[in-house]
Amino acid sequence: MLRLSTRLAISGGREGRTRLIVTSIAVAIGVAILLAVLADFHAFRVTNNRPAWEDTTASHVAASSADRAELWNYSNDIYHATTIERLDVATLGAHAPVIPGLSRMPGPGEYYASPALAAMLRTTPRDQLGDRFPGRLVGTIGPRALTGPTELVIVIGYRPATLAALYSTIRVDSIATAPGRQIWSPYFRDAFIGFAIAFVFPILILIGTATRLAAARREERYAALRLCGATSRQISVVAAVDSLISALLGSLAGIGIFLLLRPTLANTAITSQRYFATEVTPTLAGYVGVLVIVPIAAAVTGLLSLRRVRISPLGVSRKVTPPPPSVWRMLPLGIGLALFVAGLAMTNHQSIGGPAVPGLLVVLVGLVIAGPWLTGQAARFVPRLLSGVSPVLAARRLGDNPKAAFRSVSGLVLAVFLGTMVAALLPAIQAITATPTAKALSNVLLDGFTLSPICGNTVNCTGSSQPGYGFAASSKEQQQIAAQGLPPRAGANVLAGLRQIPGAQTVPIYSLAGVGSTAGPPQYNSVVPCAGMRMLHAFGMCAPGVAVVQANTLGLYSDNPMYATQPFVNSQNPAAHGNYAGLYLQAVLVKADSQATLERVRTYLVTHTPLSAGGAAARTFGEAVQVREGVATTVQRLIDIAVALTLIVAGCSLAVAAGGSVVERKRPFTLLRLSGTPIGTLYRVVVIEAVAPLFAATVIAAGIAYGMSALTVAKLGPVGSPTPVLDHAYYLIMGLGLAGALAVLLSTMPVLSRVSSPNNVRFE
């Protein structure tokens, strides 16, 4: 029976071979795209789960052997808005631990750099970058220490005495091997999984639609076999083998397409970073799963299409209209919305909407389940809204089998849902982050010199260093530096050097502690000269005639630009008296006239503030906005790719379904033309059958997506966040996508004209 089934599938005449080729191509497209999604997700997981040597902490063993220890001072730097990971290290013995990717730690006067940073150092003027790193390049860092080929990392060797004098230096006797715990990693993982799962739906729909291609014609053949004496079980074997062969050929072809496109995929940055090419690949389980699950799913789909044949050998001729979908199909959609609202109620700014993700997935499933019922309801209104014969014929067809009608457009409905959520959420996120004030300060750099701005006027802030290495628990003067900033003389030298850099304008911020009797209320922690405020008026203006004011600058150090760029000076700020230039220098604001000037300023600050306890890299407010927007851009890129791929897959599904529907109705269409029905009427029937369920479901999907986005902004956004507004780009993209789908549908019209030709009547 297997041999007969294989022969029927491969040698079933021109129509059978055409169906086999079309089905295999459709499956190949879905499999190739699915493998690409699995490959990028695998690269994301590998990168996210790599040992995070950067998280190494101080040794907790009081008497650890010096031969197996070293001194660490880990920090970040920035060049052209890109973070540079910097590790200053001094080995204490021959058996000191070594980070992954290096054969040994650098000695004094040496450093290792990642390949991307090494190339940058060779092409960038030294006063903009190279002068920040003392010593000479002795080698590059291997991939085991990096998250991707573009990551910037440097490991610099020092003498122990030199490194011990720097703040935040710790003693290390082992390297961390656990995966990193970055704040955005769980969110990206959940978003990736959620949208990958969402994207699987249209792929499965495409595969299912393809394997059901010309199901009615196959049912006729299977019914004929039943009349010749074949049993129901034998017919099931024939149908399963037919679907298995086409799906298996399509899966193999899809793997081949993916392997051809894999080098290109490895060079794309689907997330915010590039991955190593060797990591952008599905796992062995992914390949095996595609080769097993896709053919099995196709076989199951083929078997499900035989329900009428199993009734009796004459089951195909007894085409009884199936019962219409009930309103209960709306229940999963309602449950998903309830779960989403409940998840938003439980979320906070740390979980970033994570509890609402299950509800989002259930809503996606609910839209697919509710689609046939919505299609049935739309069929009732088609004859009322449109006049003529075509709407009546199309409505009858939609009402008879709304499940099949919706199946061909379900992928487009999911694409509209995802696209609407993105278009509604991202402008609101961008508006919250890139405020007008933040944009006005895009070229203003902030560098703080205190351990933490929340230390305020106290002098008891201590570092995280181990006793004997760095400032921790050492002299009172060093603790005062951590609490208030650079000492007066060191601060004056820094300011003098900054003023010598052409194109840089500097505004100092002094610590209020030590002003004495003139110290203001406890809410003020800084002293700011009003001349600087006139240059940076976005932060506010002093009262007329006041030269220096007391201010609360704690908001400056927030990582959220919306709070960091709030004005902190106005006419109500009390004046400061005395020699403010003799105070500790808490921070500096530097306005640069070009990117080159900005990098020279940054290089100067890195090399001339060794006493600084700030720990954070000097960053412009514009770069802080880019960091925030980068997270939203990564999510947008993921969703845009999902929407684009979904539209491609959905268009293929629509073409396959429309073409198959025309072929299945070859006899009735031919008889209609023979009775005098114009071909244009039949064209309109096919178009209305696709447009009616598409319009009904997409309107509901877009409305639900917009409502969910508005609830998300209201929950996670600050008070006063604007209500999401869909801009012209959304309507343009969605319009082009739907127009493309309809164009694909219209491309099947020549098939209708050919198969319904009256000349075919003699063959029926």
**In the predicted model, what is the mean pLDDT of residues 611-632?**
79
Taking the alpha carbons of 56, 61, 66, 68 in that order, is the dihedral positive or negative?
A: negative
| Tokens (6 digits) for 116 | 């991307």
Q: How many CA atoms lie within 13 A of 320 on its CB side?
A: 9
**In the predicted model, what is the mean pLDDT of residues 725-745?**
76
Q: Is the pLDDT of residue 634 over 70?
A: no
Compute the distance between CA of residue 386 and CA of residue 375 in angstroms, rounded to an integer. 16
Over residues 559-600, the pLDDT tens digits come to 777 778 888 998 889 988 777 878 899 999 999 999 999 999
Look over the chain and give the mean of its residue pLDDT values, rounded to a whole number.
78
Give 501-504 contacts, CB < 8 A, sequence gap 24+. 501/597, 501/600, 501/601, 501/604, 502/597, 503/592, 503/593, 503/594, 503/597, 504/590, 504/591, 504/592, 504/593, 504/597, 504/600, 504/601
DSSP at 158: -
Residue 577, classified by CB atoms within 10 Å of its CB into exposed (0-12), middle (13-18) or buried (19+), is middle
Top-confidence residue, 242 or 671: 671
Predicted pLDDT at 466: 41
- The percent of residues in the chain predicted with pLDDT above 90, rounded, is 18
CB atoms < 10 A from the CB of 547, how many?
A: 12
The closest alpha carbon to 310, from 244, 214, 237, 233, belongs to 233
CB atoms < 10 A from the CB of 323, how many?
A: 6
Predicted pLDDT at 504: 93
Predicted pLDDT at 694: 79
Give 755-762 contacts, CB < 8 A, sequence gap 24+. 755/662, 755/663, 755/666, 755/669, 755/670, 756/666, 756/669, 756/670, 756/672, 756/673, 756/679, 756/682, 757/670, 757/673, 758/670, 758/673, 758/674, 760/666, 760/670, 761/670, 761/671, 761/674
**In the predicted model, what is the mean pLDDT of residues 413-430?**
77
Confidence of residue 223 (pLDDT cuts 50, 70, 90): low
Predicted pLDDT at 27: 79
Which contiguous run of DSSP H or E holds residue 76?
Answer: strand 70-79
CA distances in angstroms from 152 to 75, 90, 669, 738, listed in the order given: 13, 21, 65, 42
The closest alpha carbon to 443, from 602, 220, 606, 646, belongs to 602
Over residues 154-187, the pLDDT tens digits come to 999 999 988 888 878 888 888 888 776 554 455 5
Residues 6+ apart with CB under 8 A from 82: 152
The closest alpha carbon to 238, from 8, 20, 22, belongs to 8
Q: Is the pLDDT of residue 525 over 90?
A: no
Top-confidence residue, 96 or 667: 96
| Alpha helices (H) along 228-326 | 232-266, 284-304, 307-311
DSSP at 78: E
Cα-to-chain-centroid distance, residue 419: 14
The three-class DSSP label of residue 504 is strand
Q: Please state which of the ranges 449-458, 487-496, 552-561 shows the lowest mean pLDDT.
A: 449-458
Note whether 653 and 209 are within 8 A (CB).
yes
Confidence of residue 493 (pLDDT cuts 50, 70, 90): very high
The closest alpha carbon to 75, from 90, 59, 88, belongs to 88
**In the predicted model, what is the mean pLDDT of residues 191-213?**
59
Q: How many CA atoms lie within 13 A of 128 on its CB side?
A: 14
Output the pTM of the full model: 0.70
DSSP at 272: S
φ and ψ at 65, to 5 degrees? -65, 130
The three-class DSSP label of residue 584 is coil
Over residues 455-468, the pLDDT tens digits come to 433 333 433 434 34
Over residues 661-694, the pLDDT tens digits come to 777 777 788 888 888 888 888 888 888 888 888 7
Beta strands 619-620 and 585-592 are unpaired
**In the predicted model, what is the mean pLDDT of residues 16-33?**
76
Over residues 243-264, the pLDDT tens digits come to 778 778 888 998 999 888 888 7
